[in-house]
Amino acid sequence: MAANLQQRLESIRSKASLLTERYVDLLEEKRAAEAKIAQLQSTLQHQQQEIDRLRQQNEQLRVVTTLSPKREDVERSRAFLSQLVRDIDKCIAELTE
């Protein structure tokens, strides 16, 4: 009977030791997971700030390109001004004759 009790007590001790080891392992895993979560949240925050900055930059570029003239408009304006200069030169030539 005492041997049976001794065996049960030893079984309980080994199970308690195993549970303690598992608890410590899980606690370490939990701490590592919490550190990883904190790191990922920090990364997410930095990426969100970068996204906001890029969106703002994109909006500014959109406004700038909307306000700046298009290449074909510039070419048309140059052609128009060149024609005006030729017409003025003709008028000056006719006045000097």
Spatial CB neighbours of 69, under 8 Å, sequence gap ≥ 6:
77
Q: Would the CA dihedral through 38, 43, 46, 48 be positive or negative?
A: negative
Global pTM reads 0.55
For 32, 81, 86, 88, the CA distances from 74, given in Å and listed in that order, are 61, 10, 18, 21
As a whole number of angstroms, the distance between CA 97 and CA 78 comes to: 29
Note down pLDDT in tens along the chain; length 97 residues.
Answer: 678 888 999 999 999 999 999 999 999 999 999 999 999 999 999 999 999 999 999 999 888 877 777 788 788 889 999 999 999 988 888 888 7
Q: What pLDDT score was predicted for residue 5?
A: 87
Q: What pLDDT score was predicted for residue 21?
A: 97
Q: What pLDDT score was predicted for residue 2?
A: 74
Block residue for tokens 């004759």: 97
